[in-house]
Amino acid sequence: MFNFWKLVQNENMKIYRRPRTYVMLGIMFALMAAISIITYFVNDAHDASSWNMLYNEASIMFMLITVFTIVIASGSVADEFTSGTIKLLLIRPWTRSKILLSKYVAVLLYALGMVIAMLLFGFILNMVLFGYQDATASEVISPLVTGSIIAYMFQFSVLKYISLVVTTTLAFMLATVFRSGALAIGLSLFLILGVNTFVMLLATLDYKWIDYLLFIHLDLTQYLDHNPMREGMTLGFSFLVLAVYYAIFVGLAWYVFKKRDVAA
């Protein structure tokens, strides 16, 4: 187990010693700061709530974090093949499964770190600008939502992170199968951003097979707002569908990486 976490640490070093990692973080912070500061001056801090700002920014930033994590996940495996360093990894006394898993865990930790950094920065920034207000979720989000806004934001973040994990796993699998970071990034963004554009349209079609499409279930926060895309859908069913897709993505990535010949 100790050796495995040394592998994870090594993968983390690869991620965090690259300038693009900090550029992505800077872009996220700069965008959040711009949204809050512009809103502060436009509304004179009277019409905006710190919690409302945090919720709106989190909704936007989760999409941005998804794009950033897809870039990191796609490069994690594909760059090793492109540069030829994959051979140096495979001659070490570690199994291919452990090497692949260490890369995958490092990418998920990166995504988690970005989410935590985003929430902490957004909370501090908006509390400084707009002040702290006691509020319920029904006041900030929707009259259909009950409970405290803190509990809602926690659930919102957890459900968004689960969707982020599934999306990241898809990108990781594509990079492992095709050995091309650019192709994996392009395909992932097309599937996530392109297809998501038509998700609401697909959800209105009266076909049973649509209930099993990945993209119908990626936004788990639809259940927090009590407004599922398809009538009769439940959170448990969405979890089950995502779990099946997740198992397929992980299985394909593991199988291809185990069987691939890198001697050439």
Q: Which residues of 128-150 are buried (b: 16+ CB within 10 A; e: fewer)?
A: ebbeeeebebeebbeeebeeebe
| pLDDT value of residue 115 | 96
| pLDDT value of residue 264 | 46
Domain ranges of the chain: 2-259
Check whether 178 has a pLDDT greater than 70.
yes
Kindly report the pTM of this predicted structure. 0.88
Summarised one tens digit per residue, pLDDT across range 22-53 is 999 999 999 999 999 998 888 755 567 888 88
Contact (Cβ atoms closer than 8 angstroms) between residue 257 and residue 100: yes
| pLDDT value of residue 207 | 82
Smallest CA-to-CA distance from 13 within 25, 5, 3 is with 5
| pLDDT value of residue 82 | 63
Contact (Cβ atoms closer than 8 angstroms) between residue 8 and residue 102: yes
| pLDDT value of residue 8 | 84
Check whether 2 has a pLDDT greater than 60.
no
User: Taking residues 180-190, what's their average pLDDT?
Assistant: 74
Which range, 144-153, 187-196, 236-245, has the best average confidence (pLDDT)?
236-245
Check whether 151 has a pLDDT greater than 80.
yes
User: Cα 241 vs. chain centroid, distance in angstroms?
Assistant: 17
Average pLDDT along the chain:
83
Residue showing tokens 């965090």: 16
Summarised one tens digit per residue, pLDDT across range 89-142 is 666 666 777 888 888 999 999 999 999 999 999 999 999 988 877 777 777 777
257 burial type by CB count under 10 A (0-12 exposed, 13-18 middle, 19+ buried): buried
Check whether 191 has a pLDDT greater than 90.
no
